[in-house]
Amino acid sequence: MPPTTSTLNQRIRHFYDASSGLWEQVWGEHMHHGYYEPGEKPKDRRQAQIDLIDKVIEWGQIGDPQPPESILDLGCGIGGSSLVLAQRFRAQVTGITLSPVQAKRAQERAAAAELSSQVQFQVADALSMPFESNTFDLVWSLESGEHMPDKQQFLAECYRVLRPGGQLMVVTWCHREGSLSPQEQRHLQRIYQIYCLPYVISLSQYVHLAEQLGFDRIRQADWSERVAPFWDEVIASAWDWRRIPAVLRSGWITLQAALGLGLMQRGYASGLVRFGLLSGYKPRQQLS
């Protein structure tokens, strides 16, 4: 049986409360894939993660022609993207996460970067956000959509809080198009279990939901080949013997996540796991 939303949210909260400190210590402030051009020489993992943010901004044509003034970083982790976006666009950024540990750490990082007046973090559920409708110029969701137990409600909330003319930029784990074999479904179930995901959908299903909600100028891209090399890097660093005591200290939940790395690597290799981008705009003229 799928978990109820409140049980799932508690698990997600616990997962990130327990693992974020170690993640930051080992891998830095960005909790998402890195970006690799085809044939690109091996590069620093953190640089690859910064490159992903740059490439998403470029692909999404964010700030063109008008830089966003107010941004929601939905599923903000410890504020990796939030600080980049605040600096890049000189924007006000609000980050939300289910994890109090992440929200606190993100606020500390904003203070250290002297961005406290521009960037705020809070614990809030993306499926029922504590914001007025028509508030943000940009809703940015980098690798949080896969955690959402109701993808339709997730996009509907994004739509609601966007200002007319505002942009949604979602980057999320997906599965391949078409129907999945029982073996593929079992593979995904193991990934869901380890990373606290209710389920993932295909990119075309996201596009369909966005169309139904009324988003305009919808674009999509599949960057699976661009991000798959990331898992080789993460696996190599996770099993560096100097880090094993820290993984063990941070508990079973983090150890499981480390053990799940091979599942992601094989999921990309077989084409089952996909990495999707979706951009769309809330129309300026609302249909009545």
Contact residues for ligand SAM, defined by CB under 6 A: 12, 16, 30-32, 75-77, 80-81, 96-99, 102, 125-127, 142-144, 147-148
Q: How far is the CB of 175 from ligand SAM (least distance, A)?
A: 17
From the list 55, 264, 80, 78, the residue with the least C-alpha distance to 174 is 264
Contacts of 271 (CB under 8 A, 6+ apart): 176, 224
Q: How far is the CB of 182 from ligand SAM (least distance, A)?
A: 28
- Measured from the CB atom, the residue of 16 and 89 that comes closer to ligand SAM is 16
- Measured from the CB atom, the residue of 3 and 165 that comes closer to ligand SAM is 3
Q: How far is the CB of 202 from ligand SAM (least distance, A)?
A: 20
The label of the residue with tokens 């919808």 reads: 218
Task: Specify the 3-state DSSP secondary structure of 124.
Answer: coil
Kind of pairing between the strands at 273-281 and 162-175:
antiparallel
Q: How far apart are CA 236 and CA 27, in angstroms?
A: 12
Q: How far is the CB of 184 from ligand SAM (least distance, A)?
A: 22
> How many beta carbons lie within 10 A of that of residue 159, not counting itself?
19
Contacts of 61 (CB under 8 A, 6+ apart): none
Q: How far is the CB of 233 from ligand SAM (least distance, A)?
A: 16
- Measured from the CB atom, the residue of 128 and 286 that comes closer to ligand SAM is 128
> How many beta carbons lie within 10 A of that of residue 160, not counting itself?
16
- Measured from the CB atom, the residue of 59 and 216 that comes closer to ligand SAM is 59
- Measured from the CB atom, the residue of 96 and 210 that comes closer to ligand SAM is 96
Q: How far apart are CA 153 and CA 159, in angstroms?
A: 10
Task: Specify the 3-state DSSP secondary structure of 210.
Answer: helix
Q: How far apart are CA 155 and CA 1, in angstroms?
A: 24
Q: How far is the CB of 98 from ligand SAM (least distance, A)?
A: 4
Reported in sequence order, the residue ranges of the chain that DSSP labels E, i.e. its strands, are 70-74, 92-97, 119-123, 136-142, 162-175, 216-222, 273-281
> How far apart, in Å, are the Cα atoms of 280 and each of 85, 151, 202?
18, 15, 17
- Measured from the CB atom, the residue of 149 and 229 that comes closer to ligand SAM is 149
Q: CA-based diameter of the chain, in Å?
A: 61
Q: How far is the CB of 204 from ligand SAM (least distance, A)?
A: 23
Q: What's the DSSP call for residue 126? A: T
- Measured from the CB atom, the residue of 10 and 283 that comes closer to ligand SAM is 10
- Measured from the CB atom, the residue of 67 and 100 that comes closer to ligand SAM is 100
Q: How far is the CB of 215 from ligand SAM (least distance, A)?
A: 20
